[in-house]
Amino acid sequence: MNGKLKWLASWFEKHQPKGRWSWLGSTYEAFHTFAFTPNRVTSRGSHVRDAVDLKRAMITVVIALMPAMIFGMWNIGYQHYLATPEPLTSNPSPFTCFWFGFLRMLPMLAVSYIVGLGIEFTFAQIRHHQVNEGFLVTGFLIPMIMPVTTPLWQLALATAFAVIIGKEVFGGTGMNFLNPALVARAFLFFSYPTRMSGDNVWIAADLWGTDAIAGATPLAELAAGMQPSASVLDMLIGTIPGSTCETSVIAILLGAIILLVTGIASWRIMLSVILGGGLMGLLFNTIGANTYMQLPFYYHYLMGGFMFGAVFMATDPVTAAQTNIGKWIYGFLIGAFAVMLRVLNPAYPEGMMLSILLMNCFAPLIDHCVVARNIKRRQKRALIKSKVTAR
Amino acid sequence: MNVKKLLIEPLRKTNPVTVLVLGICSCLAVTAKLKPALVMGVSVTVVTALSNFIISLLRKGIPNRIRIIVQLLVVSTLVILVDQFLKAFAYDVSKQLSVYVGLIITNCIIMGRLEAFALSHGPGESFLDGLGNGLGYSLILIIVAFFRELLGSGTLLGYQIIPQSWYEAGYQNNGLMILPPMALIVIGIVMWINNSKTESK
């Protein structure tokens, strides 16, 4: 250690927990490895290591989420100033919009991280595990998929529920079978339905309160039997009411490019979700029994959380199917079920969350079937071969 | 006869719901409100205690091959008595519980205690064992129903507990608590706490 950070290193050295404080070991470990690369090396055997470890993979996802996050912040402000007829701010600058959205998002992000990380640290401490980076992305995702007017105490409750029931009871990061961020949203969706759907939650009325200005999302308009009032271009750019950061298809596609180029997320899942949704949309087009069914299929990509789910939620490596064929089946069914729920069940205007959670449950079964089929096929081949050689 | 052991152990250490995982179905069905849960707990306790007592009295006379039929006969007679009693004296609760009183017959705790205990012990011990297990079941039912009614409806036994001023300040009842999945999760949490306490000792 010969750099400028020597003082920090010696500070860590001096404050290593021992004796009475040794139970704080994993918390110390977490902050120490946050500041410095661990200097311990394995002493024997060869270990192949990839440069992309858990920490880097998580950070890449957070970077990929950035375009959607920044656009979402701007859109919160834009929707607010669009809906409030105040003479002073009738034509706000982009920066004013962004600043308003930033101030709205900041407490939500803070609550999500403080509650989630607090629970993660506590569990790591009790179990004598090391604190890992599993919550970095989840904590970022949770505020992004909520309505902007969600009360902070409900957000805290949902985060706690998602981390404890969705993840820690199964053994922590990598052991959960449901996407924790979606568990948080589903918890709020079923616990406080009036705060999570309807026309009165999507646009913030003021800077701090939980009051909202009425404004329907395209999905809600369709579920009520109307045509969506937003144009295709509006929906593509994302200047429509909706959950905080999932309205802009363009910003999400930017994130998708980052994920695909770095190879963090599976292109098979993304593509098959889009194919599944499109084919189901086309199927409804041919039936055409009501106005919702006659809606052009590509509208489903633009509305609600379809793209956000396809790019960031369905591709979660822990909860998705692991085999390549399994990924195609898993993704295809997510897209198909999401569109089916939207069109056929007016009680749930958005089907993406429920269909991803449903397929999360089935992902292990899909994998099992794919692997079993493969074993069977190869066994057959081996048997034929052994028969031939026996002759 | 160890009265204390027979009565206290089924409450925590060998609890029929959280340790033996029996009788879960009715725990999900009747715990949305505290009142039906209380009545259900009392009904099951009465049936377990009395059926244990009666089968224990008969145990030397029952041919081994048809013992299940005899047990069912005794249990169903008791359940019909309880059902008629509730219909006569607590009609509202009886309507809320609907088929679940009748389904006490199929409650695994009762058959389990008959097979595992009453057939090999004296009537006094069997009665206490049935009482203890019934109370253990009721305890879990009451804990689950307490949290589900308090957080889901803001009431306890129908009385408003969460003050009106909280609602005005933005508090909302948790709708998920009323739905059946949350009963499973609450029972899971009770099991988690119970097991982590009993295992470490």
Residues A69-118 have pLDDT tens digits of 999 999 988 888 888 766 555 667 888 888 888 998 999 999 999 999 99
Average pLDDT over residues B95-122: 86
Residue labelled with tokens 């409806």 = B153
B188/A169 touch (CB, cutoff 8 Å), yes or no? yes
As given in the structure block, the two tokens for residue B122 are 């004296």
Phi-psi bin for B157: left (phi > 0), alpha (psi -120 to 50), beta? left
Give residue A187's pLDDT band: very low, low, confident or very high (50, 70, 90): very high
pLDDT > 80? residue A391: no
Distances (CA, A) of B39 to A76, A85, B35, B66, B144: 51, 57, 6, 32, 14
Given CB atoms, is A195 within the 8 Å cutoff of chain B? Answer: yes
Dihedrals φ, ψ of A229, to 5°?
-80, -20
A154/B185 touch (CB, cutoff 8 Å), yes or no? no
Dihedrals φ, ψ of A327, to 5°?
-60, -40
DSSP state of A46: -
**Most confident of the following: A126-130, A195-199, B153-157:** B153-157
pLDDT > 50? residue B89: yes
pLDDT > 70? residue B200: no
B172/A194 touch (CB, cutoff 8 Å), yes or no? yes
pLDDT > 80? residue B42: yes
**Most confident of the following: A208-212, A368-372, B113-117:** A368-372
Rounded CA-CA distance B103/B84 in Å is 14
- Mean of pLDDT over chain B: 87
State the DSSP string of B73-137.
HHHHHHHHHHHHHHHHH-HHHHHHHTHHHHGGGG-HHHHHHHHHTGGGS-HHHHHHHHHHHHHHH
Of the candidates B135, B117, B139, the one whose C-alpha atom is nearest the C-alpha of residue B53 is B117
Name chain B contacts of A192, Cβ cutoff 8 Å: 172, 174-175
Average pLDDT over residues A162-188: 89
Given CB atoms, is A192 within the 8 Å cutoff of chain B? Answer: yes
* Count of beta carbons in the 10 Å neighbourhood of residue B191: 16
Given CB atoms, is A210 within the 8 Å cutoff of chain B? Answer: yes
**Do the beta carbons of residue A304 and residue A242 sit within 8 Å?**
yes
Least confident of A182-191, A254-263, B48-57, B169-178: B169-178
Closest chain A residue to B152, measured at CA: A191
Q: Please give the pLDDT value at position A89.
A: 55
Name chain B contacts of A162, Cβ cutoff 8 Å: none
Closest chain A residue to B153, measured at CA: A191
Closest chain B residue to A151, measured at CA: B170
Question: Predicted ipTM?
Answer: 0.85
Greatest alpha-carbon pair distance for chain A in Å reads: 93
| Long-range contact set of residues A170-176: C-beta below 8 Å, sequence gap at least 24 | A172/A123, A172/A124, A172/A127, A172/A129, A172/A132, A172/A134, A173/A54, A173/A132, A173/A133, A173/A134, A173/A135, A173/A318, A174/A134, A174/A318, A175/A318, A176/A318, A176/A319
pLDDT > 60? residue A2: no
Which of A169, A187, A192 has the CB atom closest to B172's CB atom?
A192
Quick one: which H or E segment has residue B164? helix B164-168
Rounded CA-CA distance A263/A270 in Å is 12
**Do the beta carbons of residue A160 and residue A257 sit within 8 Å?**
no
pLDDT > 90? residue A387: no
* More confident site: A204 or B85: B85
Quick one: which H or E segment has residue A387? helix A352-390
pTM: 0.86
Closest chain A residue to B176, measured at CA: A191
pLDDT > 50? residue A1: no
A210/B188 touch (CB, cutoff 8 Å), yes or no? no
Q: Which of B166, B172, B193 to substitute to test the interface with A, most A CBs within 10 Å?
A: B172
Quick one: which H or E segment has residue B160? strand B159-160
- Mean of pLDDT over chain A: 85
Distances (CA, A) of B41 to A97, A347, A384, B27: 58, 36, 63, 10
Given CB atoms, is A296 within the 8 Å cutoff of chain B? Answer: no
pLDDT > 90? residue A8: no
Give residue B92's pLDDT band: very low, low, confident or very high (50, 70, 90): confident
A190/B179 touch (CB, cutoff 8 Å), yes or no? yes
Rounded CA-CA distance A225/A219 in Å is 10
pLDDT > 50? residue A248: yes
The structural domains of chain A, with segments of one domain joined by +, span 9-35+52-264, 266-391
As given in the structure block, the two tokens for residue B163 are 């003050």
Give residue A251's pLDDT band: very low, low, confident or very high (50, 70, 90): very high
Rounded CA-CA distance A61/B90 in Å is 59
Least confident of A12-21, A315-324, A367-376, B70-79: A12-21
Give residue A274's pLDDT band: very low, low, confident or very high (50, 70, 90): very high
Phi-psi bin for A243: left (phi > 0), alpha (psi -120 to 50), beta? beta
Reported as half-sphere exposure (CB side, CA atoms, 13 A), residue A371 has a value of: 9
Per CB distance under 8 Å, which residues of B are interface residues toward A? 170, 172, 174-177, 179, 185, 188, 192
Rounded CA-CA distance A247/A148 in Å is 12
The nearest CA of chain B is from the CA of A101 a distance in Å of 22
**Do the beta carbons of residue A254 and residue A305 sit within 8 Å?**
no
**Do the beta carbons of residue A352 and residue A304 sit within 8 Å?**
yes
Given CB atoms, is A151 within the 8 Å cutoff of chain B? Answer: yes
State the DSSP string of B20-85.
S--SHHHHHHS-SSHHHHHHHHHHHHHHHHHHHHHHHHHTTTS-GGGHHHHHHHHHHHHHHHHHHH
The nearest CA of chain B is from the CA of A157 a distance in Å of 11
Name chain A contacts of B154, Cβ cutoff 8 Å: none
Task: Read off the amino acid at residue B132.
Answer: G
The pLDDT tens digits of the residues spanning A356-369 come to 999 999 999 999 99
Residues of chain A with pLDDT > 90: what percent? 40
**Do the beta carbons of residue A296 and residue A260 sit within 8 Å?**
no
The pLDDT tens digits of the residues spanning A25-63 come to 777 777 777 667 666 666 776 666 666 677 778 888 999
Closest chain B residue to A161, measured at CA: B185
Residues of chain B with pLDDT > 90: what percent? 34
* More confident site: B83 or A47: B83
Give residue A15's pLDDT band: very low, low, confident or very high (50, 70, 90): confident
pLDDT > 60? residue A133: yes
Q: Which of A189, A191, A197 to substitute to test the interface with B, most B CBs within 10 Å?
A: A191
Rounded CA-CA distance B117/A107 in Å is 58
A191/B185 touch (CB, cutoff 8 Å), yes or no? no
pLDDT > 80? residue A6: no
A169/B192 touch (CB, cutoff 8 Å), yes or no? yes
Of the candidates A215, A145, A226, A219, the one whose C-alpha atom is nearest the C-alpha of residue A180 is A145
